[in-house]
Each structure stands twice: as structure tokens, then as C-alpha cells.
Structure 1
């Protein structure tokens, strides 16, 4: 097996594909060296993420970067013998990567500060290295032929790597949110005795009747909703005079209380700017309600569904809901 060292570069020169000798400070060497640097940083990201789509995409890109590097490292004679050059298909692949990632993360609305985890940070570094490679290639194209499709590929590559960095960050954020929710739910459920009977339409109708009774006492027409453990609406009772908007809010409170296994006012407190679940309302816009009036339906120590009341003040909604459940 040949030695790694050849001693042919000891005087600051290296060979291009095709046999030409150039100085190691040559712009062409700088270009393919920068691509190699980007490839290595992508490898660091690959080894630190468990996201299968990101891993598969990085692996595919790394293979194509070897082809890109070979092209940039070739003289005219070397180019003639290359196969598997970067093509329009490769550009389309990267555009698809951007679109796929954006389906999960949404479009960018603000600048991102790198550092969420090792994988996303490595992807951000790789992105900046790819940008540097693009700048060097633009400079190289002023004195050396560089194919247009190759330039487009490198331009799209930085976008794709950035999109993957955001996807990795989103994945980490969701996992952290799940861990926080799990911890808070355990604490909340520890305080429930589970005194309610097994959930049934008959029981829920009695609850709705009690909610109606209390709302009349308070002089506030409300909507009472109940969902099962899957978040499916089981019952919706609207009192005469209740605001139309209270229908959606009431159902949303029941959905939220069941989904997060805690009263909506407690979830709202945890979701405040200084709370451990800050930003959780963005997980399902329009469905998660972060103010009082929703309670999980707990029976036998298990959450079997949720109820929600809307129509009065937050305090009134909570009072009515508690009264309805005190059977």
C-alpha cells in the first residue's frame, strides 16, 4: 500500500486531475479545498443527528461533493475524462430538499442564532463554508472556465444546508418541548385523585346541565364542550345568548386540556415568556387555548378526555367548569 506522503508537494505545488502542476495557493486549489472543508463539516453534522431525512440527505450530498471537487481540481485534459458531473438533476434535488424542510419549519421570518445543538451548529458552519466556496468559484470563473450548472448547484447547496439546519433545530425544539410537557403533566396529574366516573355521554350531559345551572346563577350564557381522549368532540351545549365565538373557544379548551393533560390556565402559565413551555401555542395555531376554562377529565388516575367552558370571564369560565365537574 502506498504511503500517504508522496513528498511531491514539499515545495508548495500540487497536481491537478490531468497532470498540471500548480501552486497550492492557486485559486483553483482554494476552491476544491473549500469544498472538501464543507464536506468534512457535513460529516460532523451527519454523525451528530439522528434525524433520518437529514442523515440521508447529507450522505447523498457528500457523494456529489466529491464529484464537484474533482471537477474543480481538473485541468482541461482532466475534465475530458470525468464522469458523473454535477447536473440539473442535482440542482433540482437540492431545491426539493429546501421545499421538504420548509414544509416542517415554515418560511423564515427572523434571523437564526446558531448553537441549538452540535448537529445544527455544524450545518450552519457547513453553510458558511459553502458560501465561501461559492465566492471563490465566482472569482475563479473570471480567469478559468466554471460551468454555470456547477455555480447554481453550489448556490442551492448553501440554501439546502441552511434548511436542514433549521429542520434539525425544529426537531430538537420539539423534543425539548415534549420532555418539558411530560414533566409538567406528571406533576399536574399527581395532584388529581381521579374521582370522576368513567366518561360517558350520560355523565357529560349531566355536567352540561350543571354548567348551565351555574352559568344562570352567574348571569353568563356559555358554551360547554367535551372531547374524548383522542380529542374528538363528544358533546357541545350552547346556551341561548352565548357568543358564536365561544363555540370554537370552548371546544379548543377541551381539546387543549386533554391534549396536554392539564388545565388550560396551568398550561397558559407555563407557556408565558418566562415559562418552561414558552412558544407551545405555535405547535398547533388555532387549536391550543392558553387561558382558563379547560380541564382534563380524570378518572381512575387516567385522563379520559377534556371539558371546556367559554362565554364569561376567565374566572367565570373556570368556576363554571369546576362546578360542572364537582358531581
Structure 2
């Protein structure tokens, strides 16, 4: 089966409901930017040291397909009949993770550079793409009505990515300390 359809050769694409719009349509730009964020999350997930974070990121990625579908649908009733929706429990799950991680991570008293670890850096990049997507969503929501949960989810997502980036940076810091202790121990043992 070919992956190309040739239906976009004239600069249009289909929304979820089949309606054809220009590829630069703000709705397409918005869900395309969330798709870019999702791809960046996929890269970050591959570098995460903590399995819990990898699982959380895979969960988020699956929910983002639903977010994109809802944004890409000009007729929400048709979308809801064929798919899940972003709901309050999705927002709550992210809030719970954020609260849990804030309680366990060292307190911050200043701005931090984005990502001292590879996973953290990729998560911060995903966070900034998410913020761009959220700005686009906020802009089009002046003309298109979205359920409040969609806007809440988009807003919490960047905070969620931020706190996972911090957690991965902390995991990396702890790993480097342990690696250095082991290295020094092995060095001391080899001298005797």
C-alpha cells in the first residue's frame, strides 16, 4: 500500500471530518505543531534514565493523538463518535505527576538552563514546541470553540514536560555521582 495519496498535491489537506483546507490553515498549523511536539517527546523518551518517565511519556504520546484528532475535527460530534476525548482525568493525571515530582525534587531558587542531561534537553525542547502549539491553539480558540479540557491539557502538558526534564536531570546527576564513586573505588582497589 502506498503512503502517498496525491490528494495534497494542490496544497490542501483533509481535516478529520474530510473537509479540505489549505495546508497553512491555522487549525492544521496547530495540530501539526502538537504533532511536532509528540515527535520530540518520542526522542526524549529514548534517552530517559527512569522507566517511570518513559511510561509517562508513552502515555502522553497516545493521548496527544487524541488531542490532535480533536483539534483536526471541524465537527466534534463526528470525532467523538469515533474516538476517545481528552478528559479531566487526563489533566488530573498530569497535575498529580507534577505535584509528586515537585515534592521529591530539590527546591529551585533561580532559573535553570534547559537540560543538563540529554533526556532533559530533549524534554525542554518538547516543552518549547508545546508552548508554541499552545499559543496557536489559544489563537484559534478565539474563532473555534474547543472544550475546556483541550485547553487545560495543552497548558498542563508543558509544565508536565518541564518537571520530567528536571527529574531526568536529577537522575543523570545522581548517576554521575555514583559512577564517579565507583570509578574512584576501582582506582583505589587497583592500587592495592
Q: Same fold (TM over 0.5)?
A: yes
Alpha-carbon distance, 1:187 to partner? 5.3
Q: 1:47 to 1:80 in 2, by over 3 A?
A: closer
**Larger Rg computed on CA atoms:** 1
CA contact (8 A) 2:49 2:172 kept: no
Corresponding residue of 1:83: 83
Higher relative contact order (CA closer than 8 Å, sequence separation 6+): 2
* Matched length: 191
Corresponding residue of 1:167: 167
Corresponding residue of 1:300: none
Unaligned segments of structure 1, at least 5 residues = 193-327
Q: 1:187 to 1:11 in 2, by over 3 A?
A: same
1:181 to 2:181 alignment: yes
Alpha-carbon distance, 1:115 to partner? 4.2
Corresponding residue of 1:65: 64
Q: Distance in 1 between matches of 2:114 and 2:59?
A: 24
* Aligned partner of residue 13 in structure 2, secondary structure: strand
CA root-mean-square deviation: 1.9
Corresponding residue of 2:102: 102
Q: Distance in 1 between matches of 2:52 and 2:33?
A: 25
User: 1:233-272, aligned counterparts within 5 Å?
Assistant: none
Corresponding residue of 1:46: 45
Corresponding residue of 1:9: 8
User: 1:109-258, aligned counterparts within 5 Å?
Assistant: 109-186=109-186
* Aligned partner of residue 92 in structure 2, secondary structure: helix
CA contact (8 A) 1:104 1:167 kept: no
CA contact (8 A) 1:123 1:165 kept: yes
Alpha-carbon distance, 1:101 to partner? 1.9
Write 1 or 2 for the structure with the bigger share of helix: 2
Q: 1:171 to 1:80 in 2, by over 3 A?
A: closer
TM-score, normalized by length of structure 1?
Answer: 0.55
1:31 to 2:39 alignment: no
Q: Distance in 2 between matches of 1:174 and 1:47?
A: 19
Q: Distance in 2 between matches of 1:107 and 1:37?
A: 31
